[in-house]
Amino acid sequence: MAKEFRLPDVGEGIAEAEIARWLVQEGASVKEDQELVEIETDKAVVTLPSPHVGKVTKLHAKEGDIVKVGQVLVSFNDADAPASSLRPTEKKDMGTVVGTIGDEEEIVEVPQPVKAIPAVRARAKELNVDLTHVQGSGPGGRITKEDVESASVRTDDKADVSPDSYGPVERIPLRGLRRTIAKRMAAARQHVPDVTIWEDADISDLEVVRSKEKKLAAAKGIKLTYLPFVIKATLSALKTHPYLNATLDEEAEQIVLKKYYNIGIAVDTTDGLMVFAIKQADQKNILELAKEISALAEKARTRKLELSELRGSTFTITNYGVIGASYGTPIINYPEVGILGIGKIEDQPAVKDGQIMIRKIMPLSLAFDHRVVDGVEAARFLNVVIDHLEDPNLILLEGK
């Protein structure tokens, strides 16, 4: 008897998803709960298991296709048949490994099959090379980085370009994380009349505290950056100015003040920007925040975040200072009301107690929804953040 598997709502009203990778082929026999397909939705990669036993008679979408909830993904003939796995390894890797990984890494089998270590797969993704069309020159037919780069040159020579009025162009499908980012940014710009203000924080005293305590943190396996301190300073400001910890319900014409504090943290990945949420951030101390930030950032870079870890933030912080930028106009993580940008920390001349001296300066950029917050309140909010960063004793006194 024929059966169908349709795209389910994988969480919180998801309307559509992209087929990231098929884990079975037509004609394969599968067993119940065997992994069928990896889909990308709302910045997360989710693996869907088979609800049936039987043979796959048809895959109704290709990798890269956008499918709607309720749309048929797989047709089965559920006649009893010995289940066979198309993928001999249980390790899953979407090719988003950051940095260099040595050749001693485990070889990962992909559906065709193809042999390539994660670093090679990451390079192939960067160059838009399909590994199934690459002949491996390494031991046992393993694909090397050189194979991928050579294939990239050949692909470029055969690129399908469509000229515009001035010359050749290349059209790249808007898919995956970049498609999600585009939709989110468009929604934010469409709905939010945002304004940005800039100020500097003298964090010289905070640096003394951080430098002293980072050794204690390192002994516990925790990297202590400035970010946990910024979160603590932001929490104090949010409690003082609750309209920054809110959303605007346009249909009901209500400002919804959130009585909980989930801080979104923007992190750069090879596929684009992702925002994970530190839940109940006000209930965690500096070291707990540092540990959670590190763990979730790594999961973001390897695309292992759960949907629940991407949802529920009430205010977002983005740190573009790590790439050398000082100021910006960060786009609000809609439907939130504000976002705080952290710029590049530098030693700069400053006046303190009537004397010019070198101080450590952190640039801050606050973007806010002017429908909910006026400039005066936003400036006062930012002043609270700066006060706590400049006098870390305020953070320590407030504890959790």
Residue numbers annotated as active site: 370
Q: Alpha-carbon distance 298 to 98, whole Å?
A: 9
317-322: long-range contacts at Cβ-Cβ below 8 A with a sequence spacing of 24 or more?
317/227, 317/230, 317/231, 317/234, 317/263, 317/264, 317/265, 317/266, 317/341, 317/342, 318/265, 318/266, 318/273, 318/342, 319/227, 319/266, 321/345, 321/362, 321/363, 322/268
**Tokens (6 digits) for 271:** 């596929």
Cis peptide before 193 (omega within 30 of 0): no
Which CA distances in Å does 251 have to 246, 247, 278, 380?
Answer: 15, 12, 28, 29
85-89: long-range contacts at Cβ-Cβ below 8 A with a sequence spacing of 24 or more?
85/34, 86/23, 86/24, 86/25, 86/28, 86/111, 87/23, 87/35, 87/111, 87/113, 88/113
**Tokens (6 digits) for 73:** 């993904």
Crossing angle of helices 286-301 and 227-240, in 10° steps, is 110
Q: Which among 316, 399, 323 has a CA at the least distance from the CA of 365?
A: 316
**Pairing relationship of beta strands 338-342 and 315-319 according to DSSP bridges:** parallel
Query: Cα(first)–Cα(last) distance of the chain, in Å?
Result: 59
With a CB cutoff of 8 Å and minimum separation 6, the contacts of 330 are: 196, 318, 320, 339, 340, 341, 365, 367
Angle at 138 between CA 132 and CA 139, to 5 degrees: 115
Q: Please check whether residue 191 is in contact with residue 334, taking contact to mean a CB–CB distance below 8 angstroms.
A: yes
